């Protein structure tokens, strides 16, 4: 039985091509370092060994890293026999002592290894990178290591250890260039573009972790506007005039980006938005509304998947025209249909209990309300391709977040404005859509 | 069986006196908050609930805290039935999946609860305080919670997250006053005393954790001296002249203090000393020797326990005279005997494989060498009572630490200078000790 | 004529005792350095020469410094012949050119010398110290140097270069110990006393200059209170309970101290108080009143000077009893008389256009209003000796400062509350004062 | 006579065109503010008035500012009658008192006005801007104001108040963008270019003044190289590989830029270079040589001015070919002639006692030595147009600076390497220059 288990854990042996001998040796050498780090020697020379290991890991190519992961599974997993025995002992005499023993032996020695690696300068950074490596495709056999790291990093990147910092034009360039590199919603086109996004009528905040001082973990960009904006492009225009902040009554979150692949699944976004809403509310009492201007990334794909539905079919023919949004007549014709379908998509289409749309899931789970669907709001190619040019304003009212959240999580109800509810409820007449 | 387990975990019911109804209700209310924090509501309002809980905990008196801990054990321990079943499933089909399931169910829900408490501002501080409460006497039934917190805090206070900071007279008073309060080896007698210990011929370093910005975790005090000092009092004299740092060739660590009771058992000291040795060596190339001037806290008690031994008996009679060290004749007579006995105590007397003396264990485990035993070195009442006025210099040579450590941990050998070896080897003639 | 001028400038030769030859040589050597610093060599090696000079100056004893000042006057004063010629040239052809020439030659070369000394690290500090030396008694012959330094330092310590910083318990101890040393109004009795004065119901602010980073220039201490306090002792009690800031409606300035003797005459106090009033008003909107609790340092001396006046004579006999304030009967008897006399002293007694009392002059010139005279308000020995135990609340209302200031400076009128006006207007019957 | 003086000071009245009435009124209003600021009202409301004035000044267009300056001269100059009388009094009775009086009345009230303007936030910045305005062409009638400001700013921007800061990629973007804007020697082509110039094998340092926190005053760029580089282009290539700093033995200053027009004439460069040489020497002991790679900005113009000289004439015909440097044959032919002429130009051609070339004057005055003339070293269009493609290495040896400086300033001798001396001494045969 142990044998079988071992085989399950270990990846197929012949997966590795012949030419990577060198890295095989490097990976094997790393594992030797791991053993040393876990030994008594590690206790007194831990920092030195860990430092050597981390740079050893970073020097490995992909194949070498795969080899290293396999060895980690083979050598630093719980001992099945020990686990079995501790389980039996607990079954026989359930007590704090037998439970403690069981807890000890089910924890993979990898966990302690990772913690010891972390004592070297820059260790946390490499561990985050390691997890990113494990989230690459084809890593399913290394899932246990990824799970170990997720557990560890979730604990280490606890909200209580994150520091909120405002990002503006006085922020070090070494951090600003990372915003340019990471921005995932609306690409930042160089330093001029960034400079506009950090002007006085904008706000940008990021979470940082003390162990990664130069690395934003997640950041959000907001515009301070008069009225809740319904169009993306004016916000992205680097030449747009800077607005008077004193007359602003709305903070519009138009972009939120997770920066670290290796921290995927660790929840930051909800904390960030709520913290910023609270802080901005205190700092600028004139801001009465906090809303997003969000993409609907799954909308267009959903339309395509439902291409054969009678009320979608003719519509898609027109949407397939890459110039549809520039043709006023076609756009006017499409408008009621797309708005209705979008409202339906957001409010009614679910996978299990939750809405299909990932952005909707995120904001609704946070307790926001689906306030408005905006027509021809994001006409970048990405906006057209994914969201059919539409966007959504989700509104964050601090006093409603908890109730909305509970409606959503317990009763699977989606808080929405009457306007959006109305859009979803009344389909326009299909006959109005003139087919080509 | 489950029943029995429950009883084992739960503390005796009638331990609580009658009058503490109020705090019983408070503790019960806290547990209700815990449940809310772990529920879906906790997801959106976690910070608020956790903040309320933390101040709730701090408002509890000791009895209330005990009650709270009991409820934590009763309500947030692993479910024995679930554990049993997951153990069985793993036994039947050992696989990453069944192992993962087992790992999940043996982790007490308390762990997740503690992590969620940490999202509130100041959370880490209260969790450290909570562990200190659990280390009080008579808490054996709450050992599982203490173990949970130790596991969590050891992970969070990993060396990689600690920041070394120099403490000097420009350090904020809010931190300096804590040095005065915490110093455990040689009491600091007010601000003047502290000021002298932070003068230019001294160095003080502390580890800080980013989540406890005003709290030193551990600190060490060193004097930069010419020659390896053999007496404590001149170092502690607030009026001592400030030495010329340029002629110093030795950094003498005369005090190292762990500040946080709630972090007992999390290893910091070894990291701190080695880091300071490295940093000072770089900054001041003239410093060629790094040594301690350490107490021998168990020496006097060991003498007392061996009172009946022929070579100790007569000696103790003289030592019991509180003025013995001021009587030159008696002191001269005692000197060879005490030095020999102390060397023997340090090098030969062991509890299991390790030396009896706790300070010796600490420095030897770090890889230091027992260099010298100093006669009439610490004549404070504490120094006389615990160490019979003697002190030890342990020397830290970076290039020897690893070898010394391995000698010590693997072969139970104690690295010592020939001088100390000689002292231990040759007992003076007892007859020389003139009995009263 | 030139000769005569020289003699006027130069101090008497035989003032110096014989024994100070060494320092005479040191001072002469310094002057040689001065010449080098002003020469072309100074241009390329200025920092080195200036550094040497500054430590040379600090090594001089008082006699050496006097000698150095005399040499400064003899060697680095304007050349009377040049001044005379430039004056004549200007008289003959007044033009920008002749004026510029005259301006150039009347500026003592000392000014440039001081500016060059300032390029050395720590130069500003020594120049401030030098001016303090020149403000010692018996320095009238060196008045021109003191005037040069005053001109220079007034320019360098312009308000625009000062930085307001809040002082609290997180401030470096190296700065806090200076508050203890400098406090001039109500002595700070050690660190505990200071700690209380920096608690959350207190505020302390100081001006700093970037060139003197560890030196407060001036600082003010305020208490946040409910109601305008009329007694000093509760504010000074280190054991006083910390008040709830949320209910405070008054910021009471109870001490303001100029720290640098060498900056005497450079105006800081007015800027500091107004800035703090503005900042506190913004930060704590609940604070509606900004007032001082000030001594009346000249009151008791004024009574003594007017000892023979019929309404003062009998009164002084009682006041001379060092226990008068503890004798309820005597105190009750004295009260109306002292209050009336104090109001009269503050409102009516003038030296020229301005009130006799220096503290009154300071606050009134700032635009404050004399609000209230407080009975048995400061019963420390200093308070009794100087102010007969009385204090004054001066109120700072931002909207009235300008008007009050103009009333005061243009019309010599003293803004005061009706209550104080009333006290000054109606003398109590002298007969009521029972003579011993 | 007073009348005449007045007219000399006052600018011609009819210089102003008719259309600028509005700004005339604005300037007049500013002057009214100036009077208020200088009055007693200014004492209590100075910050407010000064703030209003500064923004008033910044709102003025050029004509308005000219008007304002004229009024400043007319209204805030010394009173000729007072000056005359004080001069007479001093002539009659030269004494410290009459001298002090004369000093007081020759100082223009503008000086005090400027000092009072400086109390407003941002005041220093506007005063620097004001001086820049006064350095525009055609401002000769306002020379007295410019001189006042120069005197004031020279005092305020004393080396002792400047802070040296290293600029690297962690510097705030708000400062980095100013380097891009200000760089005067080798233009920075955007952020990528800048990033390369701040890589680990480069150093950039700037002086800052505490009152202008976001404004570099002067900055210098250096490359850490192996050997003293003789070509500019590799240093400017944004794609150049980053060198290994550990093997560098030379710090090569390739650009130094004064940033603030309004501080023209205040000496910073010499302090900056020497400070950086000292600091780098301490930090990187491997750096043995500190040198510049400097343009010879006047060389080409000097050749043109001496076009008719027999040894220059034919040469210029070839140089006028814009492609000359790409034609290997022509370049080879020109090389000995240009190198000789350049050495002669630098060593022998003087305006008065000093060399014609401004960059040479700067470095020689600092005590540097002219080490090497580099052939085809800067082939940018600017490099060719001004320096005929040549550059010079000036070497800074700390131990020689003083001697070199004295040779240069006292004896007008130019310290140069034998190689450069040789070039200047031996003209190549003109006949070798084949004429077209």
Q: Does D92 touch chain C (CB under 8 A)?
A: no
Give the pLDDT of residue A240.
93
pLDDT at C435 over 60: no
Give the pLDDT of residue B203.
97
Are C276 and C415 contained in the same domain? no
Tokens of C64: 């050496």
pLDDT at C282 over 70: yes
Residue ending a domain, among D274, D292, D310, is D292
Query: What is the distance, to the nearest Å, from the Cα of residue C23 to the centroid of all Cα atoms in its chain?
Result: 32
Are D140 and D196 contained in the same domain? no
Mapping DSSP onto H, E and C, the string for A196-260 reads HHCCCCEEEEEEECCCCCCCCCEEEEEEEECCCCCCCHHHHCCCCCCCCHHHCCEEEEEEEEECC
Tokens of C417: 């509350």
> What are the CA-CA distances from residue B157 to residues A118, B278, D391 (Å)?
11, 21, 57
- Lowest average pLDDT, out of A204-213, C294-303, D135-144, goes to D135-144
Average pLDDT for C187-206: 96
| Measured CA angle at A415 (ends A410, A416), to 5 deg | 160
Residue ending a domain, among A276, A292, A308, is A292
Which residue of the set B26, B294, B377, B387 is catalytic? B294
Average pLDDT for B333-341: 94
Nearest to D387 by CA among D269, D318, D302: D302
**pTM for the full model?**
0.89
CA separation for the pair C388, C409 (Å, rounded): 28
Active site residues of C: 294, 363
**Cα dihedral sign for B237, B239, B241, B245?**
positive
Q: Please provide the average confidence, as pLDDT, over all residues in chain D.
A: 89
Average pLDDT for B413-431: 89
Touching chains C and D? (3+ Cβ pairs < 8 A): yes
Tokens of C222: 């305020």
> Which residue in C has a C-alpha nearest to residue B199's C-alpha?
C174
CA separation for the pair B346, B334 (Å, rounded): 18
Touching chains D and B? (3+ Cβ pairs < 8 A): no
- B176: nearest CB among C173, C190, C214: C173
Give the model confidence (pLDDT) of D148-205 as tens digits: 999 999 999 999 999 999 999 999 999 999 999 999 999 999 999 999 999 999 999 9
CA separation for the pair A417, A346 (Å, rounded): 12
Which residue of the set B26, B363, B377, B387 is catalytic? B363
CA separation for the pair D349, D369 (Å, rounded): 17
Tell me the chain A residues in contact with residue D214 when contact means C-beta distances shorter than 8 Å: 170
Nearest to A293 by CA among A381, A206, A192, A225: A225
Which residues is D207 bridged to in the sheet?
D164, D218
Tokens of C398: 């931002």
Chain B nearest C-alpha distance from A352 (Å): 18
- A261, A135 in Cβ contact below 8 A? yes
Are C69 and C163 contained in the same domain? no
- D188, D197 in Cβ contact below 8 A? yes
Are D328 and D259 contained in the same domain? no
Residue ending a domain, among C156, C187, C219, is C156
Tokens of B296: 């021998």
- Read off the CATH number of the domain in which A86 is found: 1.20.140.90
Are A139 and A169 contained in the same domain? no
Structural domain for D308, as ranges? 299-432
Give the pLDDT of residue B22.
59
Give the pLDDT of residue C433.
59
pLDDT at D247 over 90: yes
Give the pLDDT of residue B44.
79
Chain D nearest C-alpha distance from A180 (Å): 12
Chain D nearest C-alpha distance from A91 (Å): 58
* Cβ pair D174:A169 closer than 8 A: yes
- Read off the CATH number of the domain in which A379 is found: 3.40.630.150
Tell me the chain A residues in contact with residue B112 when contact means C-beta distances shorter than 8 Å: none
Q: Which of residues 130-169 of B touch C (CB under 8 A)?
A: 169
Average pLDDT for C147-171: 96
CA separation for the pair A26, A16 (Å, rounded): 14
Chain D nearest C-alpha distance from A172 (Å): 4
Tell me the chain A residues in contact with residue B144 when contact means C-beta distances shorter than 8 Å: 96, 99-100
Concerning whether B340 is annotated as a catalytic residue, the answer is: no
Which residue of the set A229, A294, A377, A387 is catalytic? A294
CA separation for the pair C171, C198 (Å, rounded): 10
Q: Given strand C218-225, what is the order of strands in its sheet?
A: C163-167, C202-208, C218-225, C250-258, C289-292, C391-395, C369-374
Which residues is A251 bridged to in the sheet?
A224, A290
Are C240 and C356 contained in the same domain? no
3-state secondary structure of B208: strand
* Cβ pair A118:B160 closer than 8 A: yes
pLDDT at C72 over 80: yes
CA separation for the pair D372, D378 (Å, rounded): 14
Tell me the chain A residues in contact with residue B406 when contact means C-beta distances shorter than 8 Å: 40-41
CA separation for the pair C374, C231 (Å, rounded): 7
Are D276 and D320 contained in the same domain? no
- A215, A208 in Cβ contact below 8 A? yes
Strand boundaries in C194-261, DSSP class E: 202-208, 218-225, 250-258
* Cβ pair B172:C173 closer than 8 A: yes
Please provide the DSSP assignment of D137-172 as one string: TT-GGGHHHHHHHHHHHHHHT-GGG-EEEEE-TTSB
Instruction: Pick from A165, A168, A173 the residue to mutate for testing the D interface (most D CBs within 10 Å).
Output: A173
Are B60 and B152 contained in the same domain? yes
* Cβ pair D8:C47 closer than 8 A: no
Concerning whether A405 is annotated as a catalytic residue, the answer is: no
Chain C nearest C-alpha distance from D91 (Å): 6
Tokens of C141: 């012959």
- Read off the CATH number of the domain in which C239 is found: 3.40.630.180
Are C421 and C359 contained in the same domain? yes
Instruction: Pick from A69, A103, A123, A354 the residue to mutate for testing the B interface (most B CBs within 10 Å).
Output: A103
Give the pLDDT of residue A278.
93
CA separation for the pair B88, B98 (Å, rounded): 9
Give the model confidence (pLDDT) of D374-414 as tens digits: 999 999 999 999 999 999 999 999 999 989 998 998 899 99
Give the count of Cβ contacts less than 8 A between chain A and B. 167
Q: Which chains touch D (3 or more CB pairs under 8 A)?
A: A, C
Which residue of the set D77, D363, D377, D387 is catalytic? D363
Give the count of Cβ contacts less than 8 A between chain C and D. 168
Domains in chain A, number? 3
Q: Does D173 touch chain A (CB under 8 A)?
A: yes
Which residues is C258 bridged to in the sheet?
C218
> What phi, psi does A31 have (nearest 5°)?
-65, -35
Are A144 and A17 contained in the same domain? yes
> Which residue in C has a C-alpha nearest to residue D366's C-alpha?
C44
Are A187 and A140 contained in the same domain? no
Q: Given strand B289-292, what is the order of strands in its sheet?
A: B163-167, B202-208, B216-225, B250-258, B289-292, B391-395, B369-374
Q: Which residues make Cβ contacts (< 8 Å) with residue C93, sequence separation at least 6?
A: none
- Per-residue pLDDT of chain A (436 residues), as tens digits, is 333 333 233 233 333 444 445 567 888 999 999 999 998 777 778 899 999 999 999 999 999 999 999 999 999 999 999 999 999 999 999 999 999 999 999 999 999 999 999 999 999 999 999 999 999 877 788 999 999 999 999 999 999 999 999 999 999 999 999 999 999 999 999 999 999 999 999 999 999 999 999 999 999 999 999 999 999 999 999 999 999 999 999 999 999 999 999 999 898 998 999 999 999 999 999 999 999 999 999 999 999 999 898 888 888 888 888 889 999 988 999 999 999 999 999 999 988 889 999 999 999 999 999 999 999 999 999 999 999 999 999 999 999 998 999 899 889 999 999 999 999 998 887 665 555 4
Q: Does D426 touch chain C (CB under 8 A)?
A: no
Are A134 and A169 contained in the same domain? no
Average pLDDT for D135-151: 89
Chain C nearest C-alpha distance from D188 (Å): 31
pLDDT over 70 percentage in chain C: 93
Q: Does B99 touch chain A (CB under 8 A)?
A: yes
CA separation for the pair D372, D395 (Å, rounded): 9
| Measured CA angle at A321 (ends A320, A327), to 5 deg | 135
* Cβ pair A84:B94 closer than 8 A: yes
> What phi, psi does B224 have (nearest 5°)?
-95, 115
Q: Helix B398-411 to helix A40-59 angle, to the nearest 10 degrees?
A: 120
Give the model confidence (pLDDT) of C217-266 as tens digits: 999 999 999 999 999 999 999 999 999 999 999 999 999 999 999 999 89
CA separation for the pair C223, C207 (Å, rounded): 18
Query: What is the distance, to the nearest Å, from the Cα of residue A160 to the centroid of all Cα atoms in its chain?
Result: 19
- The band of B431, judged by pLDDT with boundaries at 50, 70 and 90, is low
């Amino acid at each position: 039985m142990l044998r079988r288990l071992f085989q399950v854990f270990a990846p197929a042996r012949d997966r590795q091509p012949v030419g990577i001998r060198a890295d095989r040796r490097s990976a094997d050498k790393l594992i030797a370092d791991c053993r040393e780090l876990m030994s008594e020697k590690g206790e007194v020379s831990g920092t030195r060994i860990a430092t050597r290991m981390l740079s050893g890991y970073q020097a490995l190519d992909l194949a070498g890293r795969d080899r290293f992961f396999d060895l980690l599974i083979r050598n630093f997993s719980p001992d099945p026999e020990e686990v079995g025995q501790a389980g039996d002992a607990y079954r026989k005499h359930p007590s704090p002592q037998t439970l403690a023993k069981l807890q000890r032996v089910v924890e993979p020695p990898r966990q302690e290894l990772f913690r010891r690696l972390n004592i070297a300068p820059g260790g946390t950074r490499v561990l985050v990178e390691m997890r990113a490596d494990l989230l690459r495709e084809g890593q399913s056999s290394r899932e246990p290591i990824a799970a170990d790291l997720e557990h560890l990093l979730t604990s280490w990147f606890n909200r209580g250890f994150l520091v909120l910092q405002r990002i503006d034009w006085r922020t070090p360039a070494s951090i600003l260039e990372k915003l340019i590199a990471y921005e995932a919603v609306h690409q930042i086109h160089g330093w001029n573009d960034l400079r506009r996004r950090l002007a006085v009528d904008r706000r940008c905040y990021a979470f940082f972790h003390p162990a990664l001082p130069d690395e934003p973990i997640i950041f959000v960009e907001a515009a301070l506007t008069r009225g809740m904006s319904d169009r993306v492009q004016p916000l992205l225009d680097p030449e747009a005039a800077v607005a008077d902040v004193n007359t602003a009554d709305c903070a519009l979150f138009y972009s939120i980006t997770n920066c670290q692949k290796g921290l995927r699944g660790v929840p930051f976004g909800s904390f960030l938005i709520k913290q910023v809403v609270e802080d901005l509310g205190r700092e600028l009492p004139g801001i009465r509304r906090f809303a997003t201007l969000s993409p609907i990334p799954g909308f267009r794909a959903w339309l395509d998947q439902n291409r054969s539905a009678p009320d979608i079919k003719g519509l898609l023919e027109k949407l397939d025209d890459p110039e549809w949004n520039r043709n006023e007549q076609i756009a006017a014709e499409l408008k009621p249909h797309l708005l209705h379908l979008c409202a339906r998509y957001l409010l009614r289409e679910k996978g299990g209990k939750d809405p299909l749309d990932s952005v909707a899931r995120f904001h609704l789970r946070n307790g926001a309300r689906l306030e408005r669907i905006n027509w021809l709001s994001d006409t970048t190619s990405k906006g057209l391709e994914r969201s059919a040019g539409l966007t959504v304003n989700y509104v964050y009212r601090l006093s409603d977040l908890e109730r909305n959240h509970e409606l959503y999580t317990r009763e699977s109800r989606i808080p929405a404005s009457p306007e959006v509810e109305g859009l979803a409820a009344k389909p326009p007449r299909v006959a109005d859509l003139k087919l080509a």
